[in-house]
Amino acid sequence: MWQGLIAAATAGMCNAGVGVWAKGAERRQCRPAAFSFLFMVMAGVLSATAATRETAPWGHRGFWFLAMGMGALFYSALVVMILANRYGPPSIVWSLVNLSLVLPIGLSAILLGEPLVGMDGAIGLAFIAMLVCFGRGTASAGDSAPGHTGRFIAALAGVFLTNGLLMFGFKLKNSAWGDAGSGALTAIMFFSGAILTIPALLTHEQGMRFNRGELAFGLAAGLASGLANQFLLAAMDLPAVVAFPVVQGVALVGGVILVAAVYREKLNFPKLLGLGFGIAVIVLAVLRRA
């Protein structure tokens, strides 16, 4: 139990780092395709290194289909997140990225038979309250962007579906193969996603030539994401209703603190209240497993 909770919390901390590097890439105006390519190549190398120390179902066709499908989802998630940020407030987009954990929780209950208990409602309510507070805090801080309503709603739906299905993919892997092939799964996933970015790179005038900002932020984010996915896979023995709120809660709380420290952003009252709800999510998840 405790090992899974520690792994989930560590994955959340690594994801918080991804958020900081992604924000830095935006400030440096890095090309999305270049950032994504370097991100996924770095994360893929890290996962491939882990794969050499484990037993993996390399000969199982379903394992490859799942991993490559997750690679397409990962790249799609990056694309729709960029589009959503272009059409509307980034606070809402980030909230939807994290709220997408509702999808794997529901799918795990329906398809994998994981039971839901009374405390799960409190976990869900605390998590939603955390997202609302962070959204309002970000909005009151002046983080907003104009956009087209229809396109924004469509992009938000894409953010929810791609991120939620990606999270459920990790649960499916653990359900089918347990701990075997964790590094192999994420290596295939990241390299498949990286391959999908190549056409966009080749059609750009800069091509495969990366500037310093793209190299620094893309590789740093890939390192953090690769570590986060390894810890997430280690936490998949937990029920989805526990693992994903802990990972996402720590990512949000840690991300707010790191961004405030690195980029000197103000932590207003709604954001501080959101931190409180985030801590409540983690405490309730621990109590559920006690």
Q: 116: Cβ–Cβ under 8 A, 6 or more apart, which residues?
A: 109, 241
Residue 107, pLDDT above cutoff 80: yes
**Model confidence band, residue 39 (pLDDT cutoffs 50, 70, 90):** very high
- Lowest mean pLDDT, pick from 53-57, 83-87, 106-110, 184-188: 83-87
| Span 188-237, pLDDT tens digits | 999 999 999 999 899 988 888 999 989 999 999 899 988 887 787 777 77
For residue 78, give both structure tokens.
């990056």
Nearest Cα to Cα of residue 102 among 160, 22, 56, 189: 160
Residue 262, pLDDT above cutoff 60: yes
The pLDDT value recorded for residue 90 is 63
The pLDDT value recorded for residue 190 is 93
Residue 28, pLDDT above cutoff 90: no
Nearest Cα to Cα of residue 93 among 105, 83, 103, 85: 85
Asked whether 57 and 177 are in contact (CB, 8 A), the reply is yes
Asked whether 46 and 14 are in contact (CB, 8 A), the reply is no
For residue 38, give both structure tokens.
């370097």
Alpha carbon distances (Å) from 187 to 13, 137, 227, 265: 21, 37, 12, 35
- Lowest mean pLDDT, pick from 46-55, 240-249, 252-261, 280-289: 280-289
The pLDDT value recorded for residue 111 is 83
**Model confidence band, residue 238 (pLDDT cutoffs 50, 70, 90):** confident
Cα–Cα dist 122/128, whole Å: 10
Backbone phi and psi for residue 147, each to the nearest 5 degrees, phi listed first: -165, 175
Q: What is the mean pLDDT of residues 165-187?
A: 85
**Model confidence band, residue 20 (pLDDT cutoffs 50, 70, 90):** confident
Cα–Cα dist 114/88, whole Å: 36
Residue 143, pLDDT above cutoff 60: no
Q: What is the mean pLDDT of residues 44-73?
A: 88
Q: What is the mean pLDDT of residues 151-179?
A: 86
Q: For residues 204 and 95, which has the higher predicted lDDT (pLDDT)? A: 204
The pLDDT value recorded for residue 63 is 93
Q: For residues 105 and 285, which has the higher predicted lDDT (pLDDT)? A: 105
Alpha carbon distances (Å) from 96 to 9, 90, 210, 239: 20, 10, 30, 21
> Percent of the chain, pLDDT > 70?
84
- Lowest mean pLDDT, pick from 73-87, 107-121, 140-154, 206-220: 140-154
Q: Give a three-class secondary structure readout of the chain.
A: CHHHHHHHHHHHHHHHHHHHHHHHHHHCCCCHHHHHHHHHHHHHHHHHHHHCCCCCCCCCHHHHHHHHHHHHHHHHHHHHHHHHHHHCCHHHHHHHHHHCCHHHHHHHHHHCCCCCCHHHHHHHHHHHHHHHHHHHHHHHCCCCCCCCHHHHHHHHHHHHHHHHHHHHHHHHHHHHHCCCCHHHHHHHHHHHHHHHHHHHHHCCCCCCCCCHHHHHHHHHHHHHHHHHHHHHHHCCCCCHHHHHHHHHHHHHHHHHHHHHHHHCCCCCHHHHHHHHHHHHHHHHHHHHHC
The pLDDT value recorded for residue 132 is 83
The pLDDT value recorded for residue 69 is 95
Q: What mean pLDDT value characterizes the chain?
A: 80
- Lowest mean pLDDT, pick from 35-49, 84-98, 147-161, 211-225: 84-98
The pLDDT value recorded for residue 52 is 80
